[in-house]
Homo-oligomer: A and B are copies of this chain.
């Protein structure tokens, strides 16, 4: 089954309990809206790809890890869109959760998605229980303090920050959790996959910064120029558009060179090339080249 189908199925299963008898209907609907339809699902795709590269032997666990990572990502988007942060009305081309359901349900939907992530992870470890503690630790460190995505968002509340540290926590940390958890779900050591995840996260963040300045909202599904408007740190502003493009390519090349030795390394590299093309479409490259 293709990664995409496995991910959607695992996510649907993860949210099934939230729609069981007795649930408050608006919160159930808000959680669904936060997760479906999804974006590129790049983090869970990466998680499954690493798992497969490492010789996946427990699909329930790999899919549970992938779903947990994506639920945590969705939770962070819902909270990032709150009026006190980005006050975003659009997300993935649709009204954001806070816009559609209000601020209170957006707070709660984020909370409930975080809990659902840990519930699915805990429920999928039946066959390989010994892998659960490390998986939990990996996921918690990718999300929580001191260096996970919540910490990354908190750097936006500090008077001073380093752009690299900020983006490492805001984005790199959950990418690293995705690659490490993919390996750990397959019974492999997660450590060699950390740097690769961090590099990919950086590449993704740089691409996001580039798209924010170079594409309009019809292509990204959210308002353009938001980083500048919100005074948010951005690699595209720090390095300029061409500099940011060069940095993106450097990070992708570095990633390709640092794939750990594993049974499916070649196929994994192919997937990275494919994802890189999804992140920065040829059309943008050409527009940028023409403008330069």
Contacts and interface: CB of A to CB of B under 8 A. Distances in A.
B112 A24 contact: no
A136 interface: yes
Given A119-B140, A123-B137, A133-B126, A108 B22 contact: no
Nearest to A118: B118
A104 interface: yes
Question: On chain A, which size bracket covers the interface?
Answer: 35 or more
Interface stretch (A39-47, A153-161, A214-222, A250-258): A153-161
Given A111-B111, A115-B144, 14 more contacts: A17-B146, A22-B151, A31-B145, A79-B107, A79-B111, A84-B102, A84-B104, A84-B107, A105-B154, A107-B107, A108-B157, A112-B145, A115-B148, A118-B118
20 contacts: A17-B145, A23-B147, A23-B151, A24-B155, A26-B157, A27-B145, A27-B157, A31-B145, A84-B103, A104-B157, A105-B157, A111-B143, A115-B144, A116-B145, A119-B137, A119-B141, A122-B136, A122-B140, A129-B130, A132-B132
